[in-house]
């Protein structure tokens, strides 16, 4: 496998320069942006810290069904999850140690403040919109490989030394061995979407009965 990192690609990808790199107005057509492949995901960067003067970054990600993002946290980075298509179960532990999880479907939103452990599983192939504090939006490019293709690709797995170096640089701390006590837990394989749908439907039905009493 050839490890081709954006931090100095020979020749550079075709999309190089599509973002202005400065805080000035611009427009992108469907499919435009800075693309990178990391594990099984295709990331498209739409706004970087260069355009927002370090304020925030915006990207989309195409995620295959069954993908598991292990427990991690960011010391300085706030993170938004907005589901454009598909279904994702987001787990988070708050500052008091209380754990919760929810299946986010098309149109659903989740927010994880800086410093909180979180993880997620892709229940149905998903397209996510992410908004993060400025700087962290570069993680798919730093850890992954640039690409010009918008089609599904074989997973790209970075060398572990490079992955850990990039994680430290980009405010990402892994929590190996972290235990989730939420009813669904964090499985090695995502539940089938119909099971997740049924669980959330039951929870919502129970809530509506309580509220109606």
Q: What is the pLDDT of residues 4-50, one digit of tens each?
A: 444 444 456 777 789 999 999 999 999 999 999 999 999 999 999 99
136 within some domain: yes
Residue 27 forms part of a structural domain = no
Q: How far is CA 138 from CA 36, 48, 50, 60, 104, in A?
A: 10, 8, 11, 12, 24
| CB contact at 8 A, 167 and 144 | no
Does residue 204 or residue 44 have the better pLDDT?
A: 44
Mean pLDDT, range 196-203, rounded to an integer = 38
Rounded Cα distance between 26 and 34, Å, is 14
**pLDDT tens profile 72-131:** 999 999 999 999 999 999 999 999 999 999 999 999 999 999 999 999 999 999 999 999
**Residue 75: what pLDDT?**
97
Give domain status of residue 14, yes or no.
no
Provide the residue range defining the domain that includes 78.
34-212
Angle made by CA atoms 41, 111, 47, in degrees to the nearest 5: 55
95: left (phi over 0), alpha (psi -120 to 50) or beta: alpha
Indicate if the pLDDT at residue 210 is higher than 80: no
Say which residue the tokens 């006590």 belong to: 181
Q: Which residues of 15-52 are buried (b: 16+ CB within 10 A; e: fewer)?
A: beebbeeeeeeeeeeeeebbbbbbbbbbbbbbbbbebe
Whole-angstrom distance, CA of residue 54 vs CA of residue 183: 38
Confirm whether 166 is domain-assigned. yes
Integer Cα distance of 158 and 64 in angstroms: 18
Residue 71 within a domain:
yes
pLDDT in tens, 152-171: 788 899 898 998 899 999 99
* Assigned domain for 138 exists: yes
What pLDDT, on a 0 to 100 scale, did the predictor assign at position 183? Answer: 66
**What CATH number is associated with residue 156?**
2.60.120.10
25 domain-assigned: no
Per residue in 175-189, pLDDT (tens digit) is: 999 999 876 666 544
Which two three-digit tokens encode residue 57?
């970054």
> Is 133 within a domain?
yes
User: DSSP letter string over 131-155?
Assistant: EEETTGGGHHHHHSEE-S--S----
> How many structural domains comprise the chain?
1
């Amino acid at each position: 496998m050839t490890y081709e990192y954006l931090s100095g690609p020979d020749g550079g990808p075709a999309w190089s320069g599509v973002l202005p790199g400065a805080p000035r107005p611009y427009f992108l057509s469907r499919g435009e942006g800075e693309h990178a492949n990391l594990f099984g995901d295709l990331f498209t960067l739409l706004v970087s810290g260069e355009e927002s003067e370090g304020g925030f970054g915006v990207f989309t990600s195409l995620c295959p069904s069954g993908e598991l993002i292990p427990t991690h946290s960011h010391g300085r980075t706030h993170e938004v999850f907005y589901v454009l298509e598909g279904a994702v179960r987001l787990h988070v532990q708050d500052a008091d140690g209380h754990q919760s999880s929810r299946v986010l479907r098309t149109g659903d939103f989740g927010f994880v403040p800086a410093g909180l452990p979180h993880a997620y599983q892709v229940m149905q192939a998903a397209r996510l919109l992410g908004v993060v504090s400025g700087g962290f939006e570069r993680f798919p490019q730093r850890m992954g490989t640039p690409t010009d293709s918008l089609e599904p690709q074989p997973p790209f797995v970075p060398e572990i030394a490079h992955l850990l170096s990039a994680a430290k640089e980009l405010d990402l701390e892994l929590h190996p061995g972290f235990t989730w006590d939420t009813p669904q837990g964090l499985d090695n394989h995502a539940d089938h979407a119909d099971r997740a749908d049924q669980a959330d439907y039951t929870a919502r039905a129970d809530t509506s009965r309580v509220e109606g009493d």
